[in-house]
Amino acid sequence: MAKYVIIGASAAGISAVEAIREVDPVSTITVVSEEPCPSYSRPMISDLVSGKANFEKMLCRDGQFWEKNNVQALTGQRAVSLNLKEKYVVLDNGARVSFEKLLIATGGKPFVPKIEGADKKGVFTFTKLSDAESLAAEIEKAKSAVVVGGGLIGVSLTEALVKRGLKVTIVELQNKILSLILDATASDMVANVMERAGVTIVTGQSVQRILGKPEDERVVGGVVLTNGNSVQCDMVIIAIGVVPRAELVSGTDVKTNRGILVDRFMRTSVPDVYASGDVAEAYDFISGENRLLPLWPLAQLEGRVAGYNMAGKKAEYPGGTAMSALKYFGIPIISIGLVNPKNAEGYEILTRYEPEKRLYKKIVLKDDVIVGILLLNDIERAGVLFNLMKNSVNVKKFKQALLSENFGLATLPSSLRKRLYLE
């Protein structure tokens, strides 16, 4: 019988361990983790493929994390079912682990649409260490790749493959890449840079069929797009995105939408059962609703909030919102909140666009409060803007200065500066 059981040992799971140990140094913690390796930075799997990082660099906590935090770690083991009435978890080896408090931090799994030929050798998904390792092992032999999905994961992988000398075609169903986090101007700027790096970008298309090689049907040789065009390649990587791994709670009383629904304390609808990270749908402070936001910083924050509450220290989740920082292809980008409102009515949009400097900045306001921030290349003051956004500060008096080169704390009216920054 463990006081605390945590399923999943990534951003959310390990952050929960740290929070529990801050409050409760002694009670037993058991962590069940399907991946056998120590916890690593998932976003860094692209750097593993490019050769920029080795596994040691990817470790996201000090070695000995389990020992230091006195955790019973059941690594390489999968939870297969839950009995929430009698409060135990069943593992793939049949063992039962009883809990007083349970955290489900099972993250996401790759979304894979049905594509004919997806069982051929040379088709990969890309969300975990073992994916990156098997991909890296095949790269030596490959000359070209098709990446399906022009979102954050697809773009990060594309950069890694380009660095390894592959000819990459990226296929995106929307009419622009990074469509969830950029507007048309920013997306075009990134697409230009990628094309100059030799990437072929195909938008408004998806892969309909994966072809074999003439000499061996079982090995990837190309793809056919929805428009009938075909592209030759030696590997296909499906990087469309992730969907919550919420299957453990199906058939239980835990309420789900697309992910597991949690309140501001990371509690699910069943007492003593918590959820955090990519598997959960938590509060978004911009939309005011619960929403899937599969992001590392939010998984860590949610995990911490869950850990505190599980250990009896009340902690309220302030809420998250879409927030991405990108480093790929040499253009630093920060995108926060609503950067591209579908219906522009009711929003005020400030922009500054200097293509010769590859500079683009955009701020979206609603009733003089920042609700969206998009910065390309000049990103260092992003956090100050984000702080105004989080605190719903009315920026009417100084909005002209928000996009200026020397915007910073000194730009803020002194009364506001004192309120936000001096306790």
Partner 1 sequence: MKRIVAKEEFCIGCGLCEVYCTVQHSKSKDVIKAYNRENPRPLGRVRLEVNKPVSFAVQCRHCEDAPCVTACLSGAMKKDESTGLVIHDAEKCMGCWTCIMVCPYGAIKMDASGKVVSKCDFCSGLDVPACVANCPNGALVLIEVKP
Q: Say if residue 357 is exposed, middle or buried (CB neighbours under 10 Å; 0-12, 13-18, 19+).
A: exposed
Q: Which residues bind partner 1 (CB under 8 A)?
A: 15, 41, 43-44, 47, 52-53, 57-61, 296-297, 300-301, 304, 323, 325-327, 330, 332, 334, 336, 379-384, 386-387, 406, 408-411, 414, 420-421
CB of 249 to partner 1, least distance (A): 26
CB of 57 to ligand FAD, least distance (A): 15
Task: Tell which residue, 107, 102, 15, 73, has the closest CA to residue 310.
Answer: 102
Residue 263: CB atoms within 10 A of its CB come to: 15
Cβ atoms of 251 and 118 closer than 8 Å: no
The item of partner 1, ligand FAD, none sharing an interface with residue 106, based on CB under 5 to 8 Å by kind, is: ligand FAD
Q: What stretches of 190-343 adopt beta strand conformation (E)?
A: 200-203, 207-212, 220-225, 230-232, 235-238, 242-244, 260-261, 273-275, 280-283, 290-292, 323-326, 333-337
Name the residue nearer to ligand FAD (CB basis): 74 or 389: 74
- Strands 88-91 and 230-232: what pairing? unpaired
The item of partner 1, ligand FAD, none sharing an interface with residue 420, based on CB under 5 to 8 Å by kind, is: partner 1
Name the residue nearer to partner 1 (CB basis): 323 or 365: 323
d(CA 397, CA 407): 14
Structure token digits, residue 192: 């230009």
Name the residue nearer to partner 1 (CB basis): 52 or 313: 52
Name the residue nearer to ligand FAD (CB basis): 138 or 366: 138
Cβ atoms of 320 and 283 closer than 8 Å: yes
d(CA 47, CA 43): 8
d(CA 289, CA 282): 8
Name the residue nearer to ligand FAD (CB basis): 89 or 225: 89
The item of ligand FAD, partner 1, none sharing an interface with residue 273, based on CB under 5 to 8 Å by kind, is: none
DSSP class of 256 = B
Q: Which residues bind ligand FAD (CB under 6 A)?
A: 7-13, 32-35, 42-43, 45-46, 78-79, 105-108, 126-127, 152-153, 156, 245, 248, 277-278, 294-297, 299, 324
Name the residue nearer to ligand FAD (CB basis): 266 or 363: 266
Name the residue nearer to ligand FAD (CB basis): 105 or 186: 105
CB of 287 to ligand FAD, least distance (A): 18
CB of 379 to partner 1, least distance (A): 6
Planar angle of CA 187, 156, 8, nearest 5 degrees: 125
Cα of 250 vs its chain's centroid, Å: 23
The item of partner 1, ligand FAD, none sharing an interface with residue 108, based on CB under 5 to 8 Å by kind, is: ligand FAD
CB of 49 to ligand FAD, least distance (A): 9
The item of partner 1, ligand FAD, none sharing an interface with residue 146, based on CB under 5 to 8 Å by kind, is: none
The item of ligand FAD, partner 1, none sharing an interface with residue 379, based on CB under 5 to 8 Å by kind, is: partner 1
The item of partner 1, ligand FAD, none sharing an interface with residue 409, based on CB under 5 to 8 Å by kind, is: partner 1
CB of 151 to partner 1, least distance (A): 16
CB of 409 to partner 1, least distance (A): 6
CB of 253 to ligand FAD, least distance (A): 18
Name the residue nearer to partner 1 (CB basis): 111 or 386: 386
The item of ligand FAD, partner 1, none sharing an interface with residue 256, based on CB under 5 to 8 Å by kind, is: none
Task: Tell which residue, 17, 28, 34, has the closest CA to residue 80.
Answer: 34
Structure token digits, residue 225: 């797009």
**Element at 193 (helix H, strand E):** helix 184-196
Q: What stretches of 197-300 adopt beta strand conformation (E)?
A: 200-203, 207-212, 220-225, 230-232, 235-238, 242-244, 260-261, 273-275, 280-283, 290-292
